[in-house]
Structure 1
Amino acid sequence: MTSKVAINDNEVTHMGSVEVGQLINTSLRGDDPYCRLDVFFRNRLSLRPNATPPARLPDDFMEPAGVWRLPWNVTVEERTIGDAQNAVSVRIYRDKSCGGKNNAWLLWAHGGGFTEGSIDTAEAHATCAELTARTGTTCISVDYRLTHDGRNLYPAALDDLLDVWAWIVEQTQRNAQQTTLMIGGASAGGNLAAALCRKLVDSSREGGVLLPVPHAFLGAYGVFHDMQRELVKGWDGNTSILPTPLRFTPQVCKDMYARYVGRATDFPAYSVPGECDARQLHGFPPSALICCEFDDLAPSSMVFAEQLRQAGTPVQLRMAAGVLHGFLNWYPSERLPQTLAAIRFLAAFIEEQIQKQARERRDESFID
C-alpha cells in the first residue's frame, strides 16, 4: 500500500470521515526545513541553514530539556509478573489521590528498536507518570525482553506484553472492576502495542485466547510498516537536514527488523502490524497516534491512521511540529513545548475513552 498523505501541522486530525490525503499539508511546504525545526533541536544539534548536517551527535544531545519531577499524586511500584520461567518485570504507576478506586488501566511499551531502551527512559517513565497524574489511570510499563545477538527474537517481546495483558485482565476480574482497558507504546513499543491489539482482535474473531480487546490504542511515533518503500512522497525532504544517526533509512529499518525477527525478508504478520489491508484491521480499537515532523518513521503513523479509518476505527492523529523521533525522551518541559502538548493530547484521549466506557455501562445498566 502506497499513499501520499498530508497532516495538519501541530493540530489534531480527527479521522472520522476525511481521508488523510485530503487534508492540508503544511509539513512539506518547500521551504527550508531548518526554519521549521524546533529551536531546542537546532541549538542542541548546532545546525545551520543550508549547511551539511554533522556526522555525529553532540555529547549532550540526550540531556533533558528541563527539570522534571514525579507528580505528587503518583506512586511507583516495581513488580515481577509470572513465574520464574516466564517472569516479566513491570513498573506500576498509581494515582494515590483516587483512594484505591481505579477506572482505567494502560499497558505501555517503551521504544528502542527492539534491542535497546527500558522502562527508565523518559518516554516510558515520565509519560506513564504524567498520564497517571492527569487521568487517574493505572499505567503498567513493561520491561519486555530485548533482542540481542540472535536471542529473544520475535515473538519474545510480544509474548511478554501478552502475559502482562493477561495479568491486567485478571486484576480487573478479581476485583470485579468495570474499567477502561488500553494498550499503548512509543516507537518500537508502538509496534508491539499495535501488534498485541491485532493479535487480540484476531483471537476474538477466531475464538482463540479469550482475552478482551482493549478499549483504546495509543501510539507515539510508532513504526507499523517495514519501511522499504516510500509511504509519503517527498517526506525525506524534512529529514535530510538531520545527522545520519537520527535517520531511519530503508536500510536502517531493514536491519532493525532483521535483528528483531531473525531474518531480512518474509517478516511475520504481527512483527509489522500495519502491513495488511483494512479488512484485517476491522475491530481494531479507537486510536490516538502521534507522529513527528522530522522523523523518517512519521509516514508509518500517517498511513496506519488512514488504514484504521478505512477499517472503521475512530482515529485521532497529531503531528508534533518541529520535533524529532523520540522527542518524549527529553522529558516534559516548557523548553520543548511539544512534549507537554503530546502528554495533553494522550491524556485527553484517555479521558474521552473513560467517559465513553462509563456512558456505555450506564446505558447497558438502564437497558437491563
Structure 2
Amino acid sequence: MWKKTIKITIFLSLIISLIIAWSIEDWSRTVHGKLPSKTAVILHAVNNNLVPLDPDLEPPGFLASNSGKEGQVTMVRDEESIQLNNEKEIPVRIYSYSDAKEAPVILYFHGGAFLEGYGSIDTHDNIIRSLAARTGAVVVSPGYRVAPEHVFPTAVNDSYRSLEWVYENAERFGGNPEKIAVAGDSAGGNLAAVTALKSRDSNGPDIFAQLLYYPLTTFKDIELNSRSTYDSGYYLLSKQVMLKAREAYTPEEKMWNNPYTSPLEAENLEGLPPAMIITAQYDPLRDEGELYAEKLHEAGTPVTAVRYNGVMHGFVSFFEIMKSGEMALNESALFLTKAADESIDLEKEYKLTVQKAPGGLNRVKEEAEAFAIAAFLVGKHTFTTVTK
C-alpha cells in the first residue's frame, strides 16, 4: 500500500512540476523575446494582480538578501517635516546609523510619475533603508508635493528646498553638509537631476554626486526606440501613464522644454556633479536616460552609465528578490563611496556598460527562486479558482 502511495505522490509531484515549468516558459515568451524566468514570474504576478505592486513587502526569508551593515549597529529612522517658504510643510524620512559622524548625506527622491497615488516615501522605503545600510550615509527622503493638485514647478521647488534643509540640518543626524549627493528613481531620478541643475544655477549647496535610476529626462515628444517598444505597460510603465503624468504635472506645452522638467533639453550641462545613470533593458525610459548620460559626458561631467539586461522599469525596488536589483544597489554604493572620497576618474572615456542577466550559480539560484515563486502563484490561482 505504502509503495503505491509513494508512486502516486511522485507522479503527482512530477505533474505539478511540469505545470509550473510550463507556466514559467509561457510567461517568459513575449513579442520582444524571451524574458529571464525571475523577471517573467514577477511581471506575471504584478500584471495579473496576484500580488500587490508594493516593493516594500517583506519577501520570504529564503529569498531575502543581506543589507550590508544593517543589523550590526542601530539603524535610526526619524520622521520630520520640512518647512517650505510659503509656511506649508512636507514630510521627510531620515535613515542613519546611531554612530554616524560626518557621514555623507544622500537626498533621495522617490519615483511615482509625479502623480498622487503612484509613489511615496513609504513605497520606496526599502531602497532608502538599503542605501543607508550599504553606504553608511545619512539618507533623507522628502515627500514632495505631486500632481494633479500641484503642477510644475511645485515638485522642483520642494526638492530644492529639501536640499537646502539637508544642508542646514545634516549635522543633527551625523551627516556632513559639505558631502551631499542627490539620487532618485524614475520621476525621482528626474528631480534628482533637476535639483543638481538648480543648485548649480542658484549657487546652492555643493553636490558631490548624482545617482539616477531609469530617470525620465524629457517631456517632449521625441522618437525613441525604447518608448515605442516597451510602452504597453507590461513592463510596469505605460505610455498611458506617461501621458497622464505629463498632462497633470506639465499641463502647458511650453513647460516641456524647460530644463527643470526636461534636463535632456538643457542648453548647458557644464559644472554638474559626477553621475551614475542606471537603466533597464525593458523600459520605455531607457533611451532617454542613456542619452542624458551622453550629454553629461559631452559637457565634461564624469558619467558611469550601466544598462541592466533582462529587467524592467523599477527593478531596483525589487532587490530583495531580484539579483540584478541587488547588483545595481551594490554598484550604486560603490559609486557613491568613490564620489564622496573624490576618487572618481575624471578623465575616463564614456562607455555604456551592459550588465547581462545573472549567470552561473546566480542564474541557478534565480531559476530555483523563480520556480518557488511560480509554485506559490500557481497554487494561489488554483485555490482561488476552486473556492470561488
> TM-score band, normalised by the shorter chain?
0.7 to 0.9
Larger mean CA deviation between 160-169 and 349-358 belongs to: 349-358
For the residue of structure 1 that corresponds to 2:317, the secondary structure is helix
The question of 1:203 aligning with 2:193 is answered no
Contact 1:103–1:354, Cα closer than 8 Å, also in 2:
no
Runs (5+) with no aligned partner, structure 2: 1-29, 345-388
Amino acid at match of 2:223: E
Q: CA deviation at 1:160?
A: 1.2
Q: How far, CA to CA, are the matches of 1:190 and 1:104 in structure 2?
A: 19
Once the two structures are superposed, the pairs formed by residues 218-233 of structure 1 within 5 Å of their partners are 218-226=211-219, 228-231=221-224, 233=225
Q: How far, CA to CA, are the matches of 1:112 and 1:308 in structure 2?
A: 24
String of CA shifts for 1:229-277, please: whole Å, max 9, x gaps.
123x47744x27x65583443x653432221022245423311121123
**Structure 1 residues 304 and 176: alpha-carbon distance in aligned structure 2, compared to 1, 3 A threshold:** closer
Q: Look up the match of 1:78.
A: 79
Q: How far, CA to CA, are the matches of 1:178 and 1:153 in structure 2?
A: 30
**Structure 1 residues 276 and 81: alpha-carbon distance in aligned structure 2, compared to 1, 3 A threshold:** closer
For the residue of structure 1 that corresponds to 2:191, the secondary structure is helix
Q: Look up the match of 2:259.
A: 269
Over alpha carbons, which structure has the higher Rg? 2
Once the two structures are superposed, the pairs formed by residues 247-266 of structure 1 within 5 Å of their partners are 247-249=237-239, 252-266=241-255
Q: Look up the match of 1:208.
A: none
Q: CA deviation at 1:80?
A: 0.9
Q: CA deviation at 1:143?
A: 0.7
Q: Look up the match of 2:136.
A: 136
Contact 1:218–1:287, Cα closer than 8 Å, also in 2:
yes
Q: Look up the match of 1:287.
A: 275
Q: CA deviation at 1:58?
A: 3.1
Q: How far, CA to CA, are the matches of 1:154 and 1:132 in structure 2?
A: 30
Contact 1:172–1:179, Cα closer than 8 Å, also in 2:
no
Contact 1:108–1:185, Cα closer than 8 Å, also in 2:
yes
For the residue of structure 2 that corresponds to 1:342, the secondary structure is helix
**Structure 1 residues 235 and 119: alpha-carbon distance in aligned structure 2, compared to 1, 3 A threshold:** closer
Q: How far, CA to CA, are the matches of 2:187 and 2:328 in structure 1?
A: 18
- The counterpart of 1:315, out of the listed 303, 323, 326, is 303
Q: Look up the match of 1:329.
A: 317
More relative contact order, 1 or 2 (CA 8 Å, 6+ apart) = 1
Q: How far, CA to CA, are the matches of 2:343 and 2:235 in structure 1?
A: 43
**Structure 1 residues 338 and 245: alpha-carbon distance in aligned structure 2, compared to 1, 3 A threshold:** closer
Q: CA deviation at 1:168?
A: 1.3
**Structure 1 residues 103 and 265: alpha-carbon distance in aligned structure 2, compared to 1, 3 A threshold:** same
Contact 2:255–2:261, Cα closer than 8 Å, also in 1:
no
- The counterpart of 1:60, out of the listed 51, 57, 64, is 51
Q: CA deviation at 1:100?
A: 3.5
More helix per residue:
2
**Structure 1 residues 43 and 245: alpha-carbon distance in aligned structure 2, compared to 1, 3 A threshold:** closer
The question of 1:119 aligning with 2:121 is answered yes
Amino acid at match of 1:118: S
Normalised TM-score (structure 2): 0.70
Q: CA deviation at 1:326?
A: 1.0
Q: Look up the match of 1:4.
A: none
Contact 2:235–2:283, Cα closer than 8 Å, also in 1:
no
Runs (5+) with no aligned partner, structure 1: 1-30, 48-53, 205-210, 359-368
Identity across matched positions, percent: 27
RMSD, matched Cα: 2.9
**Structure 1 residues 191 and 318: alpha-carbon distance in aligned structure 2, compared to 1, 3 A threshold:** same
Q: CA deviation at 1:178?
A: 6.5
Alignment length (residue pairs): 300
Q: How far, CA to CA, are the matches of 2:178 and 2:274 in structure 1?
A: 16
For the residue of structure 2 that corresponds to 1:88, the secondary structure is strand
For the residue of structure 2 that corresponds to 1:301, the secondary structure is helix
Q: Look up the match of 2:371.
A: none
Once the two structures are superposed, the pairs formed by residues 1-368 of structure 1 within 5 Å of their partners are 33-35=32-34, 37-46=35-44, 57-60=48-51, 62=53, 64=55, 66-67=59-60, 71-72=70-71, 73=73, 74-82=75-83, 85-96=87-98, 99-115=99-115, 116-121=118-123, 124-148=124-148, 151-172=149-170, 177=176, 179-204=178-203, 211-226=204-219, 228-231=221-224, 233=225, 236-237=228-229, 239=230, 243=233, 246-249=236-239, 252-267=241-256, 268-277=258-267, 280-330=268-318, 332-333=319-320, 335-356=321-342
Q: Look up the match of 1:207.
A: none
**Structure 1 residues 134 and 295: alpha-carbon distance in aligned structure 2, compared to 1, 3 A threshold:** same
For the residue of structure 2 that corresponds to 1:270, the secondary structure is coil
Q: CA deviation at 1:315?
A: 0.4
**Structure 1 residues 227 and 341: alpha-carbon distance in aligned structure 2, compared to 1, 3 A threshold:** farther
